[in-house]
Structure 1
Amino acid sequence: MVASTDSNAPLAVIIGVTGQQGGSVANALTESSKPYRIIGLTRDASKPKAQGWAEKGVKLHEVDVSVGNEAAVAKAFENADIVFAVTSALDLRTKENEIATGKLMVDAAKVAKVKHFIWSPLESPAKWSKGRLNAVWTFDSKAEITEYLRASGVPFSLVPAAGYLSNLFGGGPLALTKQPDGSYVMRRPCSPKTLAYIVDIPRDYGMYVRAAIENPGMGPGSEVLSGTLTSYEDMLANISQLTGKKYVFRQVNREEFNGIVTGAGLPPSLADMLYEMHKFISEFGYYGDKDVAANHKAAGIVAPTIMEMLRNQPEGTFD
């Protein structure tokens, strides 16, 4: 499927089209039964991923979405019916930088009179815990951007990304670890019965964004909560069933968890953030007290099961 060239088709501008979330949104819109013209924003249009989108009819605009480049971002949003906006906290490195970048996007959308601004937010652990869990700045910054968006007057929808399924297989501190006996272990600072929402970002996240755009009762003012609910132990049971290999959960204390994160070459501040993120999810839930099942029903979403997600992973994922 390719992007439309019909001048009457809605124009969607996607920030970070070569990233996981932006790419998933582009996929969902090109695969829709409805036509969309698509502009993909990227820092480097010569990258293979960017060129792949160009081959599918996506027009590429090289734009650095960062503080100091406000005019270029507003220009990139001109005539857009839809803008999909996401920030990468770890690329921006600080809470202050992420908030400033998010506000820049909102301001640009207001200047350009964007009709439907779709933002990828997260809940605030600090707010839910009344300030006790204050290290999860990657969540708190997005929540602050959401409040700014609410006050801006820009027509918007919220489509938060659930926990990335790919984190289990990417080799980072949250990845499953192979043991000498051939089994795999998941190490987390919480109970194996902890419930979490998981999404296969490249394959499925865009489906939730498309629902916010197209489905009756959605549109500006809507929120579509992505992901499928599972416990960590049930996740591992599904992987074991699929692969025939042994997967086990091991609950670790804060000191050991911090050692896992810093042992992967990441700073102690990120270890604190990931530890408190797990505390937040286990105590309050990834989406707080929001009724995800009712939300999916209202949005016309049939979320894939965990097993369906696992079966759709690329060859070699479980090696």
Structure 2
Amino acid sequence: MTITQSSQAPLVVIGGATGNQGGSVLRYLQESDKEYRIRALTRDNTKPKAKALADLGAEVISIDLKPENKDKIEQAYAGADVVFAVTNFWEHVDKNREINEGKAMIDAGVAANVKLFIFSSLPSFEHASNGTIRNVHHFEGKARIEEYGRSKASSTFQFVAVQAGFYDSNMIGQQLVRKEPDGTWVYKTPISADQLVPSIDIDEYGLWVRAAIEHKEVRDDGRAVPVDAEDISLRDMVTAISKATGTPIKIIDNMPYDEFVKTFPEGTPPHIIEDLGVDMWNSLTELGYFCGVDTKWPHKYLAHKPSTFAEWLKKADLSEYTK
């Protein structure tokens, strides 16, 4: 169904509309049999992706969602029935800045009388470990924003957290599996490669957000909505890529942490090494990505069955592995 301009349809404001998560939310609402008005927020509404959204019928607004632009954020949220908000830790790798940005969005949502506020969150390993795992900064910032959002919830401001799982796309772009100088491909990890992770095709993230918008049972549940298509081991992911491309990939797991952190690029900030080099992996082994909660309960509300990792592989660009 096309995006409507009818004032009778709910107005959904989508932050990061040209990005992975926001773009997925917009696509899945566009595919719904229900009608929606869409207001797409982006930093630059002159870029091709933004113009493409306008061509679909979305109202595209150029805005930088920073705390100092709080009044503009409130204006962008004005009249919204639903807001989807997302923050980007990796843009600046500053947890406190991310928290302040998220709080500003929530405050603007309350001030604009938004009925349903959906935030892209992540679990708190610090909370789940009783404070022993403190350095997964790219999770903790979002978890703190989620806590703040829940504290602001009321009969007129409903807050729902949707927590993204492990992106299948982490396995491309030489993020985890890397080509060595001698041309061989290697996956290195300081934990067992048999560790399970909740894999998701990021293009399908909007399935879960749409479920929260369209199903009262989801948004009223009270739990965070975990985005988990399939639990699969890191080893099985690497093996599947190797089989699909015909490229041998060596797996080196259970590396000592002092050796593993040496694989990080020179100049990596110390707090990122603490995060991605040590505590993220400790969290997976000691707690699990979603800290032991039931991750499949939202599945019956999804518009279609989410893709498995094998299904994602069939449509992914794996050309880097054959060059």
Task: With the length of structure 1 as denominator, give the TM-score of the two structures.
Answer: 0.91
Matched, 1:239 2:244: no
Moved more, 238-247 or 112-121: 238-247
Counterpart position of 1:147: 147
Matched, 1:307 2:304: no
Taking the TM superposition and a 5 Å limit, the aligned residue runs for 1:204-283 are 204-215=204-215, 217-221=217-221, 223-227=224-228, 228-251=230-253, 252-263=255-266, 265-274=267-276, 275-283=278-286
- The 1:212/1:292 distance shift into structure 2, 3 A limit, reads same
Aligned-pair Cα RMSD in Å: 2.0
Aligned-residue offset at 1:220: 4.5
Aligned-residue offset at 1:155: 0.2
Matched, 1:178 2:184: no
Matched, 1:50 2:53: no
Matched, 1:294 2:297: yes
- The 1:266/1:49 distance shift into structure 2, 3 A limit, reads farther
Q: Tell me the distance in 2 between the aligned counterparts of 1:299 and 1:49.
A: 26
Can you give the 5+ residue segments of structure 2 that lack an aligned partner in the other structure? none
Aligned-residue offset at 1:25: 0.9
Matched, 1:81 2:81: yes
Moved more, 229-238 or 300-309: 300-309
Matched, 1:24 2:24: yes
Report the AA paired with residue 128 of structure 1.
A
* Contact kept in structure 2, 1:262 and 1:271, CA below 8 Å: no
Aligned-residue offset at 1:295: 3.8
Task: With the length of structure 2 as denominator, give the TM-score of the two structures.
Answer: 0.90
Report the AA paired with residue 70 of structure 1.
K
Q: Tell me the distance in 1 between the aligned counterparts of 2:243 and 2:317.
A: 17
Taking the TM superposition and a 5 Å limit, the aligned residue runs for 1:50-69 are 50-69=50-69
* Contact kept in structure 2, 1:123 and 1:288, CA below 8 Å: yes
1:238-266 Cα shifts (integer Å, max 9, x gaps) = 22332233233211221222122234x53
- The 1:145/1:258 distance shift into structure 2, 3 A limit, reads same
Q: Tell me the distance in 1 between the aligned counterparts of 2:98 and 2:268.
A: 19
Counterpart position of 2:99: 99
Aligned-residue offset at 1:298: 5.8
Report the AA paired with residue 90 of structure 1.
W
* Contact kept in structure 1, 2:123 and 2:290, CA below 8 Å: yes
* Contact kept in structure 2, 1:258 and 1:268, CA below 8 Å: no
1:158-198 Cα shifts (integer Å, max 9, x gaps) = 21111222222123xx3311357765321112101111112
Q: Tell me the distance in 2 between the aligned counterparts of 1:315 and 1:165.
A: 12
Counterpart position of 2:90: 90
Q: Tell me the distance in 2 between the aligned counterparts of 1:93 and 1:179.
A: 27
Count of matched residue pairs: 315
Identity %: 37
- The 1:56/1:300 distance shift into structure 2, 3 A limit, reads closer
* Contact kept in structure 2, 1:40 and 1:58, CA below 8 Å: yes
Q: Tell me the distance in 2 between the aligned counterparts of 1:119 and 1:301.
A: 22
- The 1:307/1:77 distance shift into structure 2, 3 A limit, reads same
Aligned-residue offset at 1:209: 0.9
2:217 alignment partner, SS class? coil
* Contact kept in structure 1, 2:189 and 2:252, CA below 8 Å: yes
Can you give the 5+ residue segments of structure 1 that lack an aligned partner in the other structure? none
